Amino acid sequence: MTNHLLWAPQAWIAGAWQHDVLLRVGSNGCWAEVQANQPAPAAAQVLPGPVLPGLVDAHSHAFQRAFAGLAERRDGAQDDFWSWRTRMYGVALRITPAQLRAVATQLYTELLRGGYTQVCEFHYLHHSESGAPYADPLAMSRALVDAAATAGIGLTLLPVLYQRAGFDQATLRGDQRRFAADLPQVLALRDGVRALAAPLVDAGVAVHSLRAVPPEALHALVRAVAHDPGPIHIHIAEQTAEVHDCLAATGTRPIEWLARELPLDARWQLVHATHALPAEIDAVAASGAGVVLCPSTEANLGDGLADLPRWLAGSTPLALGSDSQVCRHWPEELRWLEYGQRLTLQQRNVAARPDIGMPSTAAHLYGRSLAGGAAAAGFDHWGLAVGARADLLVLNQRAPGLLGVPGTHWLDALVFATEAPAFSQVWVAGRRVVAGGVHGAAAAAEDSFQAAMQALWA
């Protein structure tokens, strides 16, 4: 790919559309040159439409793709996150490494078609169905790495520290037996994934939640990763029950406890953070940590709505996650993010910021997600900029939601008027993985996925 030249009629650079953009891919798969207002060289490959940077999917549980759409019935008097979780555990207890590879490959091809070019995998399925360790401790991690390689997506693998079932319980429950991982195991998984030296793959660590990890283990984790640049992710304040339990156990709310007790910094990513008070949001902003919102999953599970205006008002990095995989298309996630606020506040264009020159809701949310996703995955550079990985999306201007729309409103129409992926091409590290809206590995991935689903649900 040395000096491979691309040329786009329009490209989204530094928060605005630029015209006649020359893009040179370096031998390392990163952008070596990005210049606007350049005529198309004879040697350049002309891209067939406007170009956007890909987004990072900052929170994924790949195995839950096998459960998407299968928890939408209620047989009892009530259904909530906790009853959904019990049913989801049934899949977690059955899936094998080979099935996980098939499910993740299908998911990752779908994420690419949906405009994600990197995925952060919050990975807690470590052990065999019985709970005993595999002979190869990396068996489930390798399944995800192999799936990412097949799909051609970048992967940040986050092995999860998971030690107890709740604040008042010393151990995990029987149906959580595959998740057990103490600090030495998590660090060994992180280092084992890094040692694979797989292209486009890196690793950090994750903490399942405050309820799942005792304070002394959290402090030990902080000491262990003090000099490691990798990201640190944690589920926090997703459910009101979690907030109440944390108050009962510690006298403080989850985000309040985290910000007070641990030295948060830019490596930390708070996933969901749905139930946060203004003072907690301000404390996170002051720490430099980021927040990862998962709008479609939070809606599907009945989690509640984050205080989006407060998060956006500060400097907190904000990223998107597909989480339970009921949606694999980032424009729809942004639509859910804004529409939840509109329904609650009875206002329109809640996320727009004309006061800072951002009258477009879609452009503001996309720009924040672009920067926040990079931090969540551990990247210093991201987007159409020299030094960033050479990822891009080509818009299909003939997609139903984009057809005839003026160029000034392409992002608005993509987020609020387009109901399906509208990317004709997707490139990762200078390599085209989606062409004509079709992933090259889609047919084989679909066959393997269907076989895995039949085995899991027979």
Residues of the chain with pLDDT below 50 are 1
323 is known as an active-site residue: yes
Question: Partners of 5 in the beta sheet?
Answer: 24
**Cα→Cα distances 441→174, 213, 238, Å:** 37, 39, 35
Half-sphere exposure of 324 (CA within 13 A, CB side): 23
What 3-state class would DSSP assign to 151? helix
Residues 104 and 147 sit within 8 Å (Cβ to Cβ): yes
pLDDT at 3: 63
Structure tokens at 442: 């889609």
pLDDT at 1: 43
Exactly one of 323, 364, 391, 439 is catalytic; which is it?
323
In the chain, pLDDT over 90 holds for what percent of residues?
94
Q: Which of 316, 267, 319, 312 is nearest to 293 (CA)?
A: 319
pLDDT at 82: 81
Exactly one of 4, 272, 275, 439 is catalytic; which is it?
272
DSSP per-residue codes, 364-395: HHHHHHHHHHHHHHT-S--SSSTTSB--EEEE
Kindly give the interhelix angle for 361-377 and 330-345, rounded to the nearest 10 degrees: 120
Strands annotated E in 2-153: 4-13, 16-25, 31-35, 45-46, 51-52, 55-60, 116-123
Helices (H), 308-441: 308-313, 330-345, 361-377, 410-416
**Cα→Cα distances 85→68, 91, 175, Å:** 13, 10, 11
Contacts of 234 (CB under 8 A, 6+ apart): 206, 207, 208, 209, 210, 258, 268, 269, 270, 271
Residues 448 and 99 sit within 8 Å (Cβ to Cβ): no
Q: Which amino acid does the sequence have at 78?
A: Q
| Cβ atoms within 10 Å of 307's Cβ, excluding its own | 18
272 is known as an active-site residue: yes
Residues 352 and 130 sit within 8 Å (Cβ to Cβ): no
Q: CA-to-CA distance for 89 and 67, rounded, in angstroms?
A: 10
What 3-state class would DSSP assign to 436? coil
Structure tokens at 165: 């079932």
Q: CA-to-CA distance for 254 and 242, rounded, in angstroms?
A: 8
Q: CA-to-CA distance for 26 and 403, rounded, in angstroms?
A: 34
185: buried, middle or exposed (CB in 10 Å: 19+, 13-18, 0-12)?
Answer: middle
Structure tokens at 194: 């890094």
Contacts of 386 (CB under 8 A, 6+ apart): 30, 31, 32, 33, 34
Structure tokens at 262: 């641990």
R_g (Cα) of the chain, nearest Å: 21
**Cα→Cα distances 61→120, 160, 371, Å:** 9, 11, 22
Q: CA-to-CA distance for 415 and 403, rounded, in angstroms?
A: 14
**Cα→Cα distances 55→114, 185, 307, Å:** 9, 30, 22
Q: CA-to-CA distance for 71 and 346, rounded, in angstroms?
A: 30
Contacts of 360 (CB under 8 A, 6+ apart): 352, 409, 411, 412
Residues 429 and 29 sit within 8 Å (Cβ to Cβ): yes
What 3-state class would DSSP assign to 53? coil
DSSP code for 406: -
What 3-state class would DSSP assign to 31? strand
pLDDT at 294: 98
| Cβ atoms within 10 Å of 291's Cβ, excluding its own | 26
